[in-house]
Copies of this chain bind each other. A is one copy, B any other.
Amino acid sequence: MRPSKRALDEMRPVSFERNVARYAEGSCLVKFGATHVLCTASLEDKPPQWLRGQGRGWVTAEYAMLPRATHTRSRREVTSGKPSGRTQEIQRLIGRSLRAVTNLPAMGERQIVVDCDVLQADGGTRTAAITGGWIALRDCFEWMRARSIVKDSPLRDHVAAVSCGMFEGKPVLDLDYAEDSIAETDANFVITGSGGLVEVQATAEGSVFTTDELARLLALAQKGVDELLALQKSALA
């Protein structure tokens, strides 16, 4: 029995609330259980400096947690003057995941910044951010299409992400904070609408894992992502 009482292959309740930010070109408040992430997509009419003149656009992401998103208050990163290693790792992952399903040349020389701000954290913030960030990005592209900034949406596919872990020797889906703290292995999977793998990151915590366990975690993730993709589609309907 997992701490959350969920079945081994059971996701938390997931919801997407679109258009929550009055000024952003696209936005989504995504909830994976008690994990809440506010995602906004902001269109900028110039790509980053290093990309100018190459006829392509760029999608990047930034990630942060409110100080009291967590059980105990965390210091704001501005206080130490720089984002932590963990923050940078996560925002790089979100950016890569969203770019994997974007036709960058079709964007023109523009940049979209997807901000993922964690209002409340109960495990799986990076997977929620990718999954909800995709909605914000998609709506931003629709906003651009409605204004004829692009002819067709530069988005090529859905993308969603979920975490899995080995818990008491069994693979479990969508770890919350309590489960994540005691899992032996922690893995994040980013998968497209057509089933292609974008990122696999599996880390032993405490004990190593086997090839077979990795395969079982991946199979479970595919089940979870299928559900997320269906929910993304409903949210857009």
Interface set of A (CB-CB < 8 Å, partner B): 21-24, 27, 34, 38, 40, 42, 44, 62, 64, 66-73, 76-78, 81-85, 88-89, 91-92, 96, 100, 113, 115, 117, 119-120, 122, 187, 192, 194-204, 207-211, 213-215, 218
Indicate if the CB atoms of B211 and A197 lie closer than 8 Å.
yes
Indicate if the CB atoms of B78 and A89 lie closer than 8 Å.
no
Indicate if the CB atoms of B38 and A64 lie closer than 8 Å.
no
Give chain B residues whose Cβ lies under 8 Å from the Cβ of A42. Answer: 67-68, 72-73
Choose among B44, B84, B213 the residue that contacts A73 (Cβ–Cβ < 8 A). Answer: B44
Choose among B77, B88, B204 the residue that contacts A196 (Cβ–Cβ < 8 A). Answer: B204
A120-B22, A197-B209, A199-B204 in contact; A78/B83 too (CB < 8 A)?
yes
Shortest Cβ distance from residue A218 to the other chain B in the assembled complex, whole angstroms: 6
Choose among B23, B88, B91 the residue that contacts A68 (Cβ–Cβ < 8 A). Answer: B23
Choose among B23, B66, B213 the residue that contacts A120 (Cβ–Cβ < 8 A). Answer: B23
Indicate if the CB atoms of A22 and B40 lie closer than 8 Å.
no
- List 14 A-B pairs, Cβ < 8 Å: A21-B69, A24-B68, A42-B68, A62-B67, A67-B113, A73-B113, A82-B82, A83-B85, A88-B89, A96-B203, A100-B208, A196-B207, A199-B201, A200-B202
Indicate if the CB atoms of A85 and B82 lie closer than 8 Å.
no
Give chain B residues whose Cβ lies under 8 Å from the Cβ of A197. Answer: 202, 204, 208-211, 213-214
